[in-house]
Each structure stands twice: as C-alpha cells, then as structure tokens.
Structure 1
Amino acid sequence: MNRVIALLAGILFGMGMVVSQMVDPAKVMGFLNISGNWDPSLAFVMGGALLMFSPCYHLFIKPRQTAISGEVLKVPTTTAIDKPLIIGASLFGLGWGLAGICPGPALTALVTGQQEILLFLAAMAGGQLLVIGWSKLRVRAMQRASS
C-alpha cells in the first residue's frame, strides 16, 4: 500500500510540474531572469504550493508521531548554516541558473525523451557520485588522522 500511495503522490507531483510548466527550461529561465524580461508566473506556482502545504503540514503532519504507514516521522532539527550547506546551495543554484531545470522537474521531463534532460540527469548523477566518493575519502582521511 505504501508503494501505491508513493506512486500516486509522484504522479500528482509530476502532473503539477507539467501543468505549471516547471519542466520547461525556457519558462524557468524567464523566471530567473530578474534583470531582463522577467516572467513571475512560477512565483505563483511556488506560492500556491506553499499555500496548500503549510496548513496541511501544521494541522496534519507536524502533530503526528508516525506516518500513515506507521513509520516514525523524523523532522530535521539541524539549523546550522555551515560550509557544506553553502557550497551545496551555491552549486544547486548555479546548475539551476545554467540549465533552467532542477532535479524534480528534470525527472518529470524524463518522459519527453529530450537529450538535454538526459544529459542533465547524467550530470546530476555524476555529481552525486563525485560527492559520495569525496565524502568517503574525507572519512578515511579523518580516521587515519585520529589513529
């Protein structure tokens, strides 16, 4: 049942991405172009999402200890703004600004078969693998230094 709910949520999310045109890099680039011909329509998409999510979160999710599936809900408690967060956010923003698309809409746009989307997803996966490798190297270096 959890997988069915996840599938339905994913389909709903994907439909929202397509209807709002967030899978169109040109539309996103128009939104990010605040010094030129700015297209504010995606701000309404994001605002609408927040207007729907915020009351649902505070009324139905936050008070719960467990999810509907019975799994323990874990709300992040870390509020530190550290170097990895700043670097990661900067790289994410740079990639979003250069490509005009971010991971969620890219996965949704995968069904279009566009070569640009496939290239973006390959680059994203490569970046993830680089970070995983870098993290493992750092952990090993720290373990060697402490022993």
Structure 2
Amino acid sequence: MSAAPGLAKPAPAAAPKREATPASPVSLFRALATLASGALFGFGLSYAGMIRPEVVLSFLRFQDWGLLLVMGGAVMVVVLVYQLAPRLMARPVLDDHFHRHPSSWNRDTALGAALFGVGWGLCGVCPGPAIAGLGTGNWDLLWALGGISLGALAHGLRAR
C-alpha cells in the first residue's frame, strides 16, 4: 500500500529492544562498562589535579591555567565523539539508538548553575572530584560532600 501524495509514509517498525534483566549478560556488560568508565574518569580527575581544592582555586583565581587545558581538551573530545559516533556507528554499544538531550534553561536551572559556581568558587570542590578525592584519603572533602548532599536534599524537598 502506498501513501497518498503529500502524506508521510508510516515509520518502519522499531527493532525489538534488548531486555536487560538483572542477571542478563547485557546488564552485566553495562555494569562493567559503567565501573570502568567511572574508574577512568576518577583517575583522570586525580591525574589532572582536580581532586586538590587548592589547584582548582588557583585555576579559578587565574593563577594556574593547567585545568583550563584539561577542561578544554575534555570538551574537544566530547564534541568530537558526540558528532562522529552517530555517523560512524549504526547504534551505540550499550543501547538501541543514540539519544539527543535538548537543553532547556529556566529560572531553576540558572539558579542551580549559579549556586554550583559559588560553591565551586568558595571551596574549590565539585561532586565528581570530591568523591574521587576521598579515594586518596582527603577526608576534608566530606564537608563539601555534606553541603552538596544538603543542597540536593533541599532541592528534592522543594520539588515536591
């Protein structure tokens, strides 16, 4: 059956979705991939010095440009991968299709970004490096993580 002129043809049926039950090889592979990427990310944060608040604060005071190079390099890699991967691969390794996440800015997003920036500027810590820094025995980062947790709790209570 053909579509009438000017009308769109119906979309082809979607491929069957792979189920990821807790004991399936797909979920095990996802868990291992998540663990490996998290470990690599934590190692990268540590190697770049981002787990040391004094390094981050000297970057934010424009005294040390090393983290600018690290962040700029990371952004370039992500932009390249986001642009090239969908063109070079039929589908991602751990999903059925590539996802686009539209950006939406509103007052809450702007306020959250501002609070994050103020917190980062005051103590030189953001969540990822704080968690990675605990692995090095920097227990002072627990104070920053406590503040981050309280902020997340306040947001959750406000959102109800």
2:31 paired residue number: 3
> By percentage of residues, which structure has more helix?
1
Q: Secondary structure at the match of 1:86?
A: helix
Q: Report the CA distance shift for 1:82/1:113 in structure 2 as closer, same or farther (over 3 A).
A: same
1:74-131 CA-partner distances (Å, limit 9, x unpaired): 322234x321111111100000001101111111112123232111111111111111
User: Of 9, 22, 26, which residue of structure 1 is paired with 2:50?
Assistant: 22
User: Superposition RMSD on alpha carbons, in Å?
Assistant: 1.9
- 1:1-147 mapped onto 2 (5 Å cutoff): 1-34=29-62, 38-61=63-86, 67-79=92-104, 81-136=105-160
Q: CA contact under 8 A between 1:28 and 1:101: conserved in structure 2?
A: yes
Q: CA contact under 8 A between 1:65 and 1:73: conserved in structure 2?
A: no
User: Unaligned stretches of 5+ in structure 2?
Assistant: 1-28
Q: Report the CA distance shift for 1:132/1:72 in structure 2 as closer, same or farther (over 3 A).
A: farther
Q: Secondary structure at the match of 1:112?
A: coil
Q: Report the CA distance shift for 1:106/1:62 in structure 2 as closer, same or farther (over 3 A).
A: farther
- The one-letter amino acid of 2:61's match is N
Deviation larger for 63-72 or 121-130: 63-72
> Share of identical aligned residues, percent?
32
Q: Within 2, Cα distance between the matches of 1:66 and 1:91? A: 37
**Structure 1 residue 64: Cα displacement:** 6.4
Q: Report the CA distance shift for 1:62/1:13 in structure 2 as closer, same or farther (over 3 A).
A: farther
Q: Within 1, Cα distance between the matches of 2:128 and 2:87? A: 24
User: Unaligned stretches of 5+ in structure 1?
Assistant: 137-147
Runs of 4+ in 1 over 4 A off after TM superposition: 61-66
Q: Report the CA distance shift for 1:14/1:82 in structure 2 as closer, same or farther (over 3 A).
A: same
Question: Paired residues, what number?
Answer: 132
Q: Secondary structure at the match of 2:100?
A: coil
